[in-house]
Structure 1
Amino acid sequence: MHDPLTIKGATVQSALTFGTARLAMSDDLRENAARDAQQILEIATGLTRVQMLAQPDRPLREEEAGSFQGMIAQRRGAVPIQHLRGSQEFFGRDFFVSPDVLIPRPETEHIVEEVLRLYPDRNAPLKIADVGTGSGILAITLALEYPKSSVTALDISPAALREARTNAARLGADRIVFLESDLMAAVAGQSFDLIVSNPPYIPQQEASTLHRQVVLHEPHLALFGGEDGLDILRRLIPQASQHLVPGGWQLLETAGRTAALDELLKTGKNQHYVADLQGIERIACVQQA
């Protein structure tokens, strides 16, 4: 039997049918097979969803069909759509992403939203540190939202820092200082108005419950926070409190509020959580006394 995409005259619709059927053969891809096939065809052809709906009989060029087939095969191996596309949107901006960094998640946007609430003056000359910057989404977004701020982005991974620098250059965030650092070691003696972080917080024992695209294609260094998920936070929270000016804030993405996390945050004078869209108290916020 011939593969339908090797036959001259394959169309948008036949490609979508083929891709959806192939992806649906994998149990963990079946639920979103049609959506994934559509997104992959968008990447392969440059067509938008609306254009594909309007032109279901549009023939695929040979190179488009070949690219689509190759990406469907990669997706069957759980390669994330974001890696096939090479980018992911965060707070209205496109960021380059690769297997060297965590793929930006919508939950992390709540950190930016809460910063904007706590510091409504966009012209404030804030000193900001982003610990574990990864692709740079928080450092770059805050640098652009607060154009008079000074931002320091820290990461222990040289590969992540290279990616963050690339994103900063692409998006015009040219005031950020990037430093290779184990948490805040590289900024000893410096003080900040605001410290943000999306640290590794998944308990190691939950690795088997994660989708294989996460386990196989995202850096474990950025995912797992030890047995209970709090190993990095146990080190970061006291470090951050030492680097904050009085009244400054640290905002941290977490797996959710727990008694152990509350205990770690007790050093601050004000403490609250911001819930994500699932109702999980995801963002821990604590103000320096």
Structure 2
Amino acid sequence: MTLTLVKAWNGAKERLKEAGIDQPAIDARLMLEVAAGVSRTDIITDPYRELTAEQVATLDEYLERRARREPVSHIIGRKGFWKILLSVTKDVLTPRPETEVIVDEVLKAFPETMAFNMLDLGVGSGTMLLAILAERPAAKGLGVDISEEALAVARENAANLDLDGRLALMRGDWTTGMGDASFDVVVSNPPYIPTADIETLQPEVRDHEPRLALDGGPDGLDAYRALAPEILRVLKPGGLFCVEIGFDQSAAVEALFNEAGAQNVRTVKDLSTHDRVVTGFKNPLETPA
């Protein structure tokens, strides 16, 4: 029996629905697009195009992996974020729409033609750094990660987006070795899940995302304790910082940055109205040591 695009999509949706997968229609479409080498438009405008036997087999393999709760981004090797498409592997966090709050905050602070120097701590696949550089052609950036595997993914994404000439990527432990007052903006999406909560997460996260990028210590705040004073140290006077947080960590993270001397510290909510980003500035009158 031949399988057309529309039959393949409907069949895939049903298999994923029976497996208890959230958003089965979206997941089925994304995997069908890659397995059959088609676009979303092709599925709509040419629904009776037939799949080859090899394409059917590939789609079947994808569906089996998804039913075992492997993330779609790992299966197809890519994920959209903001206005860019990123390669994704098991060595990096899958980009999430909540993180776009940081991109939005930075873009609002820096006009399109303005030159600025950005630091992304825990750069992962390059999600935030590349999304911002793609929108701000005069900006340059540095991405730091402790994982060499994650940096390899970021390098690939930077090259694919023709942004590798405007950023550097470095293996390191947060801000170690960096000079004072070096950056106009610092962003970070550090690990913030309390250790004991990791086993309660969805299987897609618990079993497939890198533990190093999830585990924030006993209370989830270990990274912020280290980052707050260091971010303020490497920021230029008047510089902006934005860090992603867990939905219940606003007060604690704001307090850490206030204690470090930040100004105008506030929390920004995501589209689900959850507290998502703590942001603020370094004192514009502060002079570097």
Q: TM-score, normalised by structure 1?
A: 0.90
Mark the runs of 5 or more structure 1 residues left unpaired by the alignment.
1-7
Which of 139, 161, 186 lines up with 1:195 in the alignment? Answer: 186
Q: Secondary structure at the match of 1:18?
A: helix
Is the counterpart of residue 99 in structure 1 residue 90 in structure 2?
yes
Is the counterpart of residue 59 in structure 1 residue 59 in structure 2?
no
Instruction: Quote the offset at 1:175 in angstroms.
Output: 1.7
> Per-residue CA shift, 1:130-185, capped at 9, x if unaligned?
10000012222222323222311100000111111111111111121111011111
Aligned to 1:211: 202
Give the conservation status (yes or no) of the 8 Å contact 1:179–1:186.
no
Q: Which moved more, 1:148-157 or 1:137-146?
A: 137-146
**What are the within-5 Å matches in structure 2 for residues 99-178 of structure 1?**
99-119=90-110, 121-173=111-163, 174-178=165-169
Q: Secondary structure at the match of 2:64?
A: helix
Which of 206, 216, 229 lines up with 2:220 in the alignment? Answer: 229
Which of 269, 272, 277 lines up with 1:275 in the alignment? Answer: 269
Aligned to 1:12: 5
Q: Distance in 1 between matches of 2:4 and 2:180?
A: 62
Q: Distance in 2 between matches of 1:245 and 1:53?
A: 51
> Per-residue CA shift, 1:182-210, capped at 9, x if unaligned?
11114244621111111111222222332
Which of 56, 71, 79 lines up with 1:80 in the alignment? Answer: 71
Q: Secondary structure at the match of 1:185?
A: coil
> Per-residue CA shift, 1:96-141, capped at 9, x if unaligned?
111111111111111111112122x222221211100000122222
Q: Distance in 2 between matches of 1:53 and 1:46?
A: 14
Q: Distance in 2 between matches of 1:34 and 1:168?
A: 30
Q: What CA RMSD, in Å, does the superposition of the two structures yield over aligned residues?
A: 1.8
Aligned to 2:256: 264
Between the aligned residues of both structures, percent identity stands at: 35
Kindly tell me the number of residue pairs found equivalent between the two proteins: 279
Q: TM-score, normalised by structure 2?
A: 0.90
